[in-house]
Amino acid sequence: MYGTDENETGKLILIVEDSLVQTEVLNRKLSREGYRVVVAHNGAKGLELARTLSPALILSDIVMPVMDGYRMCREIKDTPFLKEVPVVLLTQLYEPEEIIRGLESGADAYMTKTVCDDLFMAKVQALLNNPVQFRNHSDLKCTSFEYEHKHYEVHSDRAQTLSFLISTYENAVWQNRELNKVQNQLRTLNEMLEETIEKRTRELTNEIAERKKAEDDLRESELRFRTIFETNTDGLITLRIEDNKFYMCNRAICRMLGYSEDELLRLGIADIHPKDELPHVISQFERQVKGEISVVEDLLVKRKDGSVIYADVNTSPITLDGKPHIIGAFRDVTDRKKLQESEVARLAAEEGSRAKSDFLANMSHELRTPLNSVIGFSEVLQDDLCGPLNEKQREYVGNILISGRHLLSLINDILDLSKVESGKMELELSVFSLRESLNDSLMMFSEKSLNGGVNIHLKLSPEADVTITADQRKLKQIMFNLLSNAVKFTPAGGSVSVQARMMRVEGREMREEHPGLTQPSSLISHPSSDSHQDFIEISVTDTGIGIRAENIPKLFQPFSQLEPVYTREFKGTGLGLALTRRLVELHGGTVQVESQFGRGSRFSFTLPLKQRAV
């Protein structure tokens, strides 16, 4: 309870309200205007205070504990000395039933709890300053009626009813005004909202369009990346830096390493390199991560089957799923590495061969000088220029002369071969008759063939009876080597045939036909020939012991001799055919051999009819 001064009851207002918040709000409004206020928190307490204090105005809530506002109001109006005290019900009273109950309780007015301060204070002052008229007049009646199946009895006069209805109307007008204000505010807010929504819709539309474009661009970029990644001929693989595990790989790296994609993605960097190479591999990758290098060359990579390949690895940093990765491009350079190693070996072999040739050339010169003296003095002794020799002395001098000449021939072959291999031998070209040159070569073996019982003859086709441009001495040397072998390996009663014929090239190839031989026609390539050049083919065919097929590749290798049976029965150095091939090739021709073991051999070579000027 707030103030209780009985001498100022005209300004005392009783508030009956169970809500402490609402009570405080009403108390402040009234106290600010100078009214004294007392408070009760239920209808029973309010009735007790009203009977005790006789306030000038009672403001009461309806729904309260112990006793509601309707009953308290009815009790007050039924109390003779309180029935003139105005009672205002504080509620909503939106329903007709609530208005009827308000009239039935005898309330003088009602106001909503949310009414504005100005209207609230105006109503309070009106009720305090202008008491309701016509109270307790003879026209007070009890009106009985039913509404929605409920019976009501209203004991009020016209003034009370009018006052209550006016307050109802005022409250309705105020609520309508407030509603209009709220509606106007809502309309304004709605317009603002519509404008905001429209603006935001445009923004969202633009954002959606931009996002869709970004998604399309990202999808297209991912598709391009995936396409390039998958179709790249280099092996591509990505490595998560945090755990050194593979994240993505393309088909090329799978083929290169022999793994399926699932198998490879379960591996890490340590699984695809030899164990002893790992420290080097890791150090190189660390340098790549730091940006010190971009490509690691000739890196050993281990395949699934355990074999190793060489690869150049190019790496770049990349972010995938928000995490740092490295993408590596592996290019298989095993063939290049082998080629490099082969080239190094070839250069070393060439250098060795050149050193050998230089050595042999120097040694040949050093040997020929004293050997010529031995041969020369042997000839002087054999010719009795220093006095007659007995039979024993003549036999020994003859052996010295024969051995010296054989050794000189061997030294000359070595010297010529070394000159060809070192590129120091040049052709001394001249124009001469092919028939005469071949006859001269056969004449060198006529006595030997007669003594050995071997028939040797020349067959020259008419179109080959021409002059030829070549190195005549080297042609005789070629023929000497071939005829020497043919006569040496042909037993008594056999034959050696020398044939020559003209051949024309077809494009860059030359067609040869050998009638009477069991082997098919041969196709020989002439890299130095042009499309209109004529060649002379010269062949030496014997009916000797022949050569096994597996031994033919050894024929043209320097110092190479065939089976021991040959070397025991037939003497030789193994240089003749090697030198022959070099001399033929020096002219721009080729050498071919055909043989059947036990039946004989055919050695043929081709020479250009005209040599090109260099």
Name the β-bridge partners of 111: 90
Is-contact 150 101, C-beta < 8 A? no
Is-contact 457 498, C-beta < 8 A? yes
Distance CA 296, CA 282 (A): 11
Angle between helices 391-422 and 334-382 in degrees, nearest 10 = 150
Phi-psi region of 455 (alpha: psi -120 to 50; beta: other; left: phi over 0): beta
Is-contact 60 69, C-beta < 8 A? yes
Name which of 67-76, 323-332, 376-385 the model is least confident about.
376-385
Tell which residue, 467, 464, 538, has the closest CA to residue 497.
538
Distance CA 87, CA 63 (A): 15
Indicate if the pLDDT at residue 529 is higher than 60. no
| pLDDT tens readout for residues 486-519 | 888 888 889 999 999 998 765 444 444 443 333 3
Is-contact 124 30, C-beta < 8 A? yes
The gap from C-alpha 68 to its chain's centroid, in whole angstroms, comes to: 84
Distance CA 329, CA 232 (A): 9
Reading the block at residue 110, the tokens are 């009602």
Domains of the chain: 6-182 (3.40.50.2300), 232-331 (3.30.450.20), 338-422 (1.10.287), 430-608 (3.30.565.10)
High-pLDDT (> 70) share of the chain, %: 78
* Banded model confidence at residue 4, pLDDT cuts 50, 70, 90: very low
Distance CA 265, CA 263 (A): 6
Say what the pLDDT of residue 605 is. 94
Give the residue-averaged pLDDT of 236-262. 86
| pLDDT tens readout for residues 292-339 | 887 888 888 888 898 998 888 888 778 887 788 888 888 888 888 888
Give the residue-averaged pLDDT of 258-267. 88
Phi-psi region of 358 (alpha: psi -120 to 50; beta: other; left: phi over 0): alpha
| pLDDT tens readout for residues 409-427 | 667 766 666 666 666 677 8
High-pLDDT (> 90) share of the chain, %: 17
Tell which residue, 50, 70, 59, has the closest CA to residue 16.
59
Amino acid at 44: A
Indicate if the pLDDT at residue 135 is higher than 70. no
Is-contact 379 398, C-beta < 8 A? no
Distance CA 39, CA 26 (A): 10
Say what the pLDDT of residue 559 is. 58
Per DSSP, the three-state class of 252 is helix
From the number of C-beta atoms within 10 Å of its C-beta (0-12, 13-18, 19+), residue 138 rates as exposed
**CB neighbours (10 Å) of residue 121?**
16
* Main-chain dihedrals φ then ψ at residue 187, nearest 5 degrees: -65, -45
- Which ranges in 13-95 belong to alpha helices (H)? 20-32, 43-53, 69-77
Tell which residue, 56, 43, 54, has the closest CA to residue 16.
43
Kindly report whether the global pTM for this prediction surpasses the value 0.75: no
